Structure 1
Amino acid sequence: MYKSQYIVISVAIIMIIGLALLPRVVVDNDKILSEEQVSGEAHSDPDNEEGILAEDYEKISKSIQSFYGSKSKEEKASILEEIIGEFKAINRYDSAAVYAEYFAIEYPEDNNFQKAGEIYFEAFTFAFDSEKKKRLAVKTREIFQRVLDNNPGLLDLKTKIGLTYMSSENPMQGIMMIRAVLEQDPDNELAISNMGVLAMQSGQYNKALARFQKLIELNPQDMQARFYLGVCYKELGEKEKAREILNLVKSQESNPDVLSMVDKVLSEID
């Protein structure tokens, strides 16, 4: 399991991680943008160019030129994957989302918009600046809602929309949305995880404990749930249970970032 799997939920609620500021780009869903509109916004803005190494910028620019020059949907989709990977590699998630959205506008299929929304959600998750986070939250909701209008059963998207409200002026709206998901599907793992982390944030460790125990019942291999369960036991003063669970997580993980997180909690127990 990667570190992002541990932090994506808690970051969205607690906002404990930030990366470099993402470029200021917003795309209008209601119209197809021209090459000049998208490429101009994405690449002429000083905030976008700042911090990008020359070799990275040159590589991405070539991919973007190929993207616009392609006449084939399949070829353009393949180049889009390259662009997304290149932008993510330098932590420019919202730039990656812009091109995913451009592709979805050109080929308006729900799966294409969902892909763009997922990348906007990633950008929202890792954004540090509050105004940027709000803007990305709005963009994520806009695109996910478009997909949900045609696919109301995609409950994970509803949960993620709820998460975007956690950084807004009305976080209760987000909580109510996630609760509504659980009313519709009591076994929805993403919603259970987020309600568990939210309970931890508010110091309700007994409630959080129940959430993570439920997750482990649903999926015994869920090391993320076991990690949070160990943290809950630690906070409730049950040190031996916490140590046992965290050592189990440690034995199942190889990612150094995750191991560092586990070791930090274990050191606080000892």
Structure 2
Amino acid sequence: MFFLLYFGCNTKPEKQQQLEKTRALQAESTDISVLLKNAKESLSSSQNGRIFLLEQELAQLEADSARIDQLKKISGAWFELGQPAIAGYYAQEIADLAGTEESWAIAGTTYTICVQQSTEPRVRDYCSGRAVRSFENAISINPDQMSHQVNLALVYTENPPPDNPMRGILMLRELNDAQPNNVLVMNTLARLAIKTGQIDRAIQRLERSLELEPDNQNTICLLATAYGNAGPDYASRAAALAAKCDAQ
């Protein structure tokens, strides 16, 4: 299962895959109809009017290309209204039509933002499950794109499975073992280390990242944060990198 998850090499029959997806959807703690109902109840009359018009325009379209363009407008509108779960649903609708690596990655990223921002367990679970499926689809299209695999692992770190709370971390460590000089993976592990107070470990990874890519903005900013949490001995280095982070 580990290799299937990472590289998208699925050997299950198509009917079995569809059955598992159906069961997974049935196991969700909420669904889009509930989310839409609750979200619309929280909108002002003008906001509801805007969404209604976008939905009416979508209903009149038949060509996939036109529907995709309209779905982008609806997804963007819901994101602007602070509803990433619903924005993710429409981004997933786009991916179902487009079937591209990029569209699935966007859907996964939108759902991940929902996981990060939501405080309701049922919404987090809904978005987490759909983020996982979106990134798995992106990986199946392009198994060599490391960012999809990192993002998949991050979903599991944001909302750890109860039966395997270390799954996301272990996935990132496996990626690091496979590509020890991959800056994206090292930076991601360092970010998590900062979050959990493992500052020395974060600094070690980030200093190595900086050696490999001296102009990497993400590394510079993360290392400034790590130095800033490492005590007075690192204060001057933290200030220098913070200035460089702000300047870029």
- State TM-score, norm by structure 2: 0.76
| Kept in 1: contact 2:112–2:131 (CA 8 A) | yes
Match of residue 68, structure 2, among 61, 77, 86? 77
Counterpart amino acid of 2:126?
A: R
Residue 200 (structure 2) pairs with residue 206 (structure 1): yes
Pairwise CA distance, 1:177: 0.6
Residue aligning to 2:110: 119
Residue 234 (structure 2) pairs with residue 243 (structure 1): no
Quickly say closer, same or farther: Cα 1:61–1:222, change in 2 above 3 A: farther
Match of residue 164, structure 1, among 152, 155, 177? 155
Pairwise CA distance, 1:109: 4.3
Residue aligning to 1:52: 43
Pairwise CA distance, 1:224: 3.1
Pairwise CA distance, 1:135: 2.5
Looking at structure 1, the residues matched to 198 and 87 of structure 2 have their Cα atoms a distance apart, in angstroms, of 37
Pairwise CA distance, 1:120: 1.4
Residue aligning to 1:221: 215
Looking at structure 1, the residues matched to 99 and 194 of structure 2 have their Cα atoms a distance apart, in angstroms, of 40
Looking at structure 1, the residues matched to 203 and 245 of structure 2 have their Cα atoms a distance apart, in angstroms, of 16
Quickly say closer, same or farther: Cα 1:218–1:91, change in 2 above 3 A: farther
Structure 1: segments with no counterpart, 5+ residues: 1-27, 31-37, 254-270
Counterpart amino acid of 2:103?
A: N
SS in 2 for 1:162: helix
Residue identity over aligned pairs, in percent, reads 19
Residue aligning to 1:65: 56
Looking at structure 1, the residues matched to 51 and 150 of structure 2 have their Cα atoms a distance apart, in angstroms, of 32
Looking at structure 1, the residues matched to 115 and 187 of structure 2 have their Cα atoms a distance apart, in angstroms, of 18
| Kept in 2: contact 1:117–1:140 (CA 8 A) | yes
Pairwise CA distance, 1:192: 1.6
Looking at structure 1, the residues matched to 153 and 32 of structure 2 have their Cα atoms a distance apart, in angstroms, of 31
Residue aligning to 1:100: 91
Quickly say closer, same or farther: Cα 1:218–1:50, change in 2 above 3 A: farther
- State TM-score, norm by structure 1: 0.70
Looking at structure 1, the residues matched to 32 and 225 of structure 2 have their Cα atoms a distance apart, in angstroms, of 45
Structure 2: segments with no counterpart, 5+ residues: 1-19, 23-30
Residue aligning to 1:191: 185
| Kept in 1: contact 2:186–2:205 (CA 8 A) | yes
Residue aligning to 1:89: 80
Looking at structure 2, the residues matched to 176 and 39 of structure 1 have their Cα atoms a distance apart, in angstroms, of 31
SS in 2 for 1:171: coil
Quickly say closer, same or farther: Cα 1:39–1:129, change in 2 above 3 A: closer
| Kept in 1: contact 2:109–2:131 (CA 8 A) | yes
Counterpart amino acid of 1:140?
A: A
Quickly say closer, same or farther: Cα 1:54–1:201, change in 2 above 3 A: same
Would you say how many aligned residue pairs link Structure 1 and Structure 2? 216
Residue aligning to 2:172: 178
Quickly say closer, same or farther: Cα 1:103–1:197, change in 2 above 3 A: closer
